[in-house]
Chains A and B, each alone.
Chain A
Amino acid sequence: MFYKHSRRTVTAVAVTAAAVLALAGCAASGPGASEGGSEFDPDAEVTVNFTWWGNDDRAQKYNEAIALFEKEYPNVTVNGTFTDFPAYWEKRTTEAAGGGLPDVMQFDYSQMDSFGSRGLLYNLTPEYGTNIDVDAIPESALAVGDIDGKSYGLISSTNAWAMFQDKTLLSGIGVEPYEGGTSWEDYYEWIGEVTAKGNGVTGGADPTQRIQNFELSLRQAGGNLYTDEGELGFDEDDLTTFWESANDIREGDITPQQRIEELFPVSGFGANIAASELTWDNFGAGYLADSGKAVDDLVLTPPPTDDADAKDLYLKPSMLLAMSSKTEVGAAGAKLIDFLTNDPDVGKIFGASRGIPASETQREGADLAGQDANVAAYEESIADRLGDAPPLPPEGAASIEQKFWDLGKSLDLGVITVDEAVKQFFDEAEITLNN
């Protein structure tokens, strides 16, 4: 098969392979953040790549906002793309490894540490006051995107954990909505009552599936999910107690997990088979779109708490806007971020569907009405329950949250016991936090 010059061929092949390996071995070195606010040239034609996560409803809103931006800055063309939340981070990490992060990105609080501390994000601090106006944003809110004194993400909006209820559905069943703020036991009883009378509608899904509810119970006792050093702030007993607390309602009171699996990504509440759901307060717009409910059907209630004086809730940055440190359109990107965060007309488009706008100018322009006004009213109503923000979630927090949820779902499907779930969670968390 080999000709006389086979030895030369083999050598050539080996050299090529070695060259390929060597080239690939020189991984793209971490880029440094650029210094100094950039100059925006109103005549230069530039394209800004912008990406976000969300559903079709949010995509439509962003497209409208982008159209407004392009009208104000006619030399800038914005390329908008989007995916759903889990796929979003898979894409971003692969892009980060390949050196091709989009110019501007909608960003999540839990991922700020991973990306920001590795020099993948643009340092926005020099842009504040020049291309980005930050006067309308409170200092404390501005600081959430800070790592080592440099800001890598600008807060867009805040949200808080809440309970959604469908009061029309409940009045049809003949049960009063859950009043909020009472003990978890009370809530579980209420769930049972609704399911018993509901004729197919259940009180709610298992709240112990969500790590945010666990966080509330930890904060009610004075602790937090994570410590300042980025370790878990709880142990196996805490988690076992929490998961076992829902043992009673797992037997038929909660929305059947099998059905929820089929409906994914629409939730039980969004599919009108659950009368309540604990989630972030900006999910209302998504529910309205998925379920066909009217705004007046929705009611926002504070989550249960076992301690009436607890300061367990907090205002979380629901999303931020960040730029890639390798962007070549820094000034235009900064202008886009400024526009999306501060502009009152953008506020009008989004209302509170990304969360309550952090910028006062945008909040005023948002002219919150309907569901959004309800959200703003909710956030005011829980002012007494607001505690200090928890430490910045360490890298891997998003994986841990997802793992927690998956284990909760398995518990509700009856395929594992609480002890097994706790063990799996801690094994996973150890690997993830030490990755």
Chain B
Amino acid sequence: MTTTQRQASQTAAPLGSASAGPGSTAPRAGGRPKLSEKKRDGIAGYLFLTPWLIGFFVLTLGPMLISLYLAFTKYNLFTDPEWIGFDNFTRMFNDPQFQQSVQITLTYVLVGTPIKLAAALGVAMLLNYRSKGTGFFRSAFYAPSLIGASVSVAIVWRAMFNSDGPVDTGLGFVGIDLGGWVGNPSLVMPMMILLAVWQFGAPMVIFLAGLKQIPGELYEAADVDGAGPWRKFRSVTLPMLSPVIFFNLLLEMIGAFQIFASAFIISSGTGGPAGSTNFYTIYLYQRAFGDLQMGYASAMAWLLLVVVGIAAFVLFRTSKFWVHYGGDLK
């Protein structure tokens, strides 16, 4: 709306001019100065934004700032917060459960995300060939990522990996006896990573779109030069896909740091057998709502924000070394 109107008023009268045009600021006889078209547009814009702005300040920014304050206090919801400075942060680094939660979360992010993206890319490349079933498979692979973070999937996943569940029984046929994944501290993490990888559909669809944008001539040129499939992948596909890879990597990494719902359900809120699903957010939740140590939990939340922010920043910075934006993109 605003662009065309502004263009219209620009052609009608130059902005800020003192001539008596329809949108000018020249004072009228006996009246207050009428606002310019541009100013009116601006105010209208902000007025329309007000509901969102209220939501943002009251529900997002406000609580974030309060949480920042609470991170430096001792607060158990009942009594008033008590200022303790950096004690929460020093406590974190001496807390074995905190260190465990960091380790577990980092394992999940650093192992799970690359595997998930590799699976997404692999399947996208397979689906890149136009053949009869691709439409169906595309939807089939995409579906899990829509429902993946839900409670019901986590419950079913947990039941699947029980000692009498289908996965274990199936492995038993092949002679691998694992005795159940859910109760075994060393197998729960692979199970969680599998759940993450199973939801590769969303990045896969984006990779597919990226693959379709790679000009066919590049592959033809590579063929002419005698490049084999691996060489083509390495020198044509990957560089041309690098913006998409970067995008997916960033989003998946940020999402992986924040995993909560599936871990909570699979461990029944306990942080898993012997703390093996004690992800950062789960530990934060337990401290906040189980032990009523709101100050400590707030400190943990801000640390997570800072760490994820730094990780994203590093990713952006290093992107210029490997992300190749082609001439006809953007």
A-to-B contact residues, CB < 8 Å: 3-5, 9, 13, 16-17, 20-21, 24-25, 27, 30, 86-87, 89-90, 93-94, 96-97, 114, 118, 120, 256-262, 264-265, 396, 399, 402, 406, 409-410, 413, 415-416, 424, 431-432, 435
In angstroms, Cα B39 to Cα A17, docked, is 24
Is there an interface contact between A17 and B80, defined as CB atoms closer than 8 Å? no
B-to-A contact residues, CB < 8 Å: 38-39, 42, 46, 53, 57-58, 61-63, 65-66, 74, 76-80, 96-97, 162-163, 179-180, 182-185, 268-271, 273-275, 289-293
Is there an interface contact between A435 and B292, defined as CB atoms closer than 8 Å? yes
Is there an interface contact between B268 and A259, defined as CB atoms closer than 8 Å? no
Closest A residue to B63 using CB positions: A24
Is there an interface contact between B289 and A90, defined as CB atoms closer than 8 Å? yes
Given known A-B contacts A94-B289, A260-B183, A413-B185, A118 and B163 have beta carbons under 8 A apart? no
In angstroms, Cα B289 to Cα A366, docked, is 37
Closest A residue to B43 using CB positions: A5
Is there an interface contact between A258 and B273, defined as CB atoms closer than 8 Å? yes
Q: Which residues of A contact B61 (CB under 8 A)?
A: 17, 20
Is there an interface contact between B290 and A257, defined as CB atoms closer than 8 Å? no
Q: Which residues of A contact B291 (CB under 8 A)?
A: 396, 399, 432, 435
A240 CB to nearest B CB, Å: 18
In angstroms, Cα B99 to Cα A234, docked, is 28
Given known A-B contacts A93-B289, A264-B268, A435-B76, A257 and B273 have beta carbons under 8 A apart? yes
Closest A residue to B81 using CB positions: A27
Supply 26 A–B pairs (Cβ within 8 Å), ascending by A: A3-B42, A9-B46, A16-B53, A17-B61, A20-B57, A20-B62, A21-B65, A90-B289, A90-B290, A93-B289, A97-B78, A257-B273, A258-B179, A258-B183, A261-B182, A262-B180, A262-B183, A264-B268, A265-B268, A409-B274, A413-B273, A415-B185, A415-B275, A424-B96, A431-B293, A435-B293
Is there an interface contact between B65 and A262, defined as CB atoms closer than 8 Å? no
B91 CB to nearest A CB, Å: 8
B17 CB to nearest A CB, Å: 15
The listed residue with most B CB atoms (<10 A of its CB), out of A93, A258, A399, is A258
Closest B residue to A4 using CB positions: B39
Minimum-distance CB pairs A-B, first 3:
A261-B183, A258-B183, A20-B62
Q: Which residues of A contact B275 (CB under 8 A)?
A: 406, 410, 415
Given known A-B contacts A24-B62, A94-B289, A257-B183, A409 and B269 have beta carbons under 8 A apart? no
Q: Which residues of A contact B163 (CB under 8 A)?
A: 258-259, 262
Is there an interface contact between B74 and A435, defined as CB atoms closer than 8 Å? yes
Cross-chain contact of B58 among A4, A20, A94, A114 (Cβ < 8 A): A20
Is there an interface contact between A97 and B77, defined as CB atoms closer than 8 Å? yes
Closest B residue to A420 using CB positions: B96
In angstroms, Cα B61 to Cα A431, docked, is 30
Q: Which residues of B contact A432 (CB under 8 A)?
A: 291
Closest B residue to A415 using CB positions: B274
Q: Which residues of B contact A3 (CB under 8 A)?
A: 38-39, 42
Q: Which residues of B contact A424 (CB under 8 A)?
A: 96-97
Q: Which residues of A contact B58 (CB under 8 A)?
A: 20
Q: Which residues of B contact A410 (CB under 8 A)?
A: 274-275
A101 CB to nearest B CB, Å: 12
Is there an interface contact between B42 and A21, defined as CB atoms closer than 8 Å? no
Given known A-B contacts A93-B77, A118-B78, A265-B268, A259 and B183 have beta carbons under 8 A apart? yes
Is there an interface contact between B74 and A413, defined as CB atoms closer than 8 Å? no
In angstroms, Cα B65 to Cα A300, docked, is 55
Q: Which residues of A contact B179 (CB under 8 A)?
A: 258
Closest A residue to B268 using CB positions: A264
Is there an interface contact between A16 and B57, defined as CB atoms closer than 8 Å? yes
B164 CB to nearest A CB, Å: 9
In angstroms, Cα B199 to Cα A116, docked, is 47
In angstroms, Cα B39 to Cα A344, docked, is 75
Closest B residue to A405 using CB positions: B270
In angstroms, Cα B179 to Cα A259, docked, is 9
Is there an interface contact between B269 and A86, defined as CB atoms closer than 8 Å? yes
Q: Which residues of A contact B268 (CB under 8 A)?
A: 264-265
Cross-chain contact of B62 among A9, A17, A89, A259 (Cβ < 8 A): A17
A324 CB to nearest B CB, Å: 14
